[in-house]
Each structure stands twice: as structure tokens, then as C-alpha cells.
Amino acid sequence: MIFALFIKYFFLYLQKPQHIVKMESIGERIKQRRKMLNITQEQLADIAEVGINTLTKIERDEGNPTLKVLLKVLDTLGLEIKIAIKTMNQ
């Protein structure tokens, strides 16, 4: 029984999601939207209440922000992200 569960979870782990957005495209979209709104990185960081270094790293695809930080930036820019969580029944 335990072995069967292990195998099931192992194969779920190996499966790759069919729809995934790379962090680099998120950073680029944040940068494009910020520029479209004619605001600086400093202004966005201040409004979103995140550090300027954090925002800079996100836009350069170097950052690994928490979901909370990413959502603050996206919300400030009027953007959203949809996250689908795969359940065991899928």
C-alpha cells in the first residue's frame, strides 16, 4: 500500500504542467506595464510597498519573490496571475 502511494506521487512529481509561465515573462510583463503607465521603478516600489532591489530583480528575471510580493506588484499595476493547483483526482 505504501509503495503504491509512493509510485503514484513519484509519477505525479515527474509530470510537468502543460501550462506554465516562466518567471522571465512575468518580469518582462511587469516592466512593460510599468513603462506603459509611465512610472519609474522607484515609484512602483513605493506604491506596491516592496523594496526597489526586489522590484529590479523581478524585472530583470533575477528575483525569486514570494507570492505575496509578486501579487502586490501585479495588483498595483492592475495585472493578475492565475494559479491552478492540481489535485490528486486530476
DSSP 40: -
- Provide the phi-psi class of 51: left if phi over 0, else alpha when psi is between -120 and 50, else beta: beta
pTM, two decimal places = 0.67
At 51, give phi and psi (nearest 5°). -70, 145
Q: What's the pLDDT tens digit per position in 16-69? A: 444 445 555 888 889 999 999 999 999 999 999 999 999 999 999 887 889 899
- Find cell 526597489 and name the residue: 52
Maximal C-alpha separation, the chain: 59
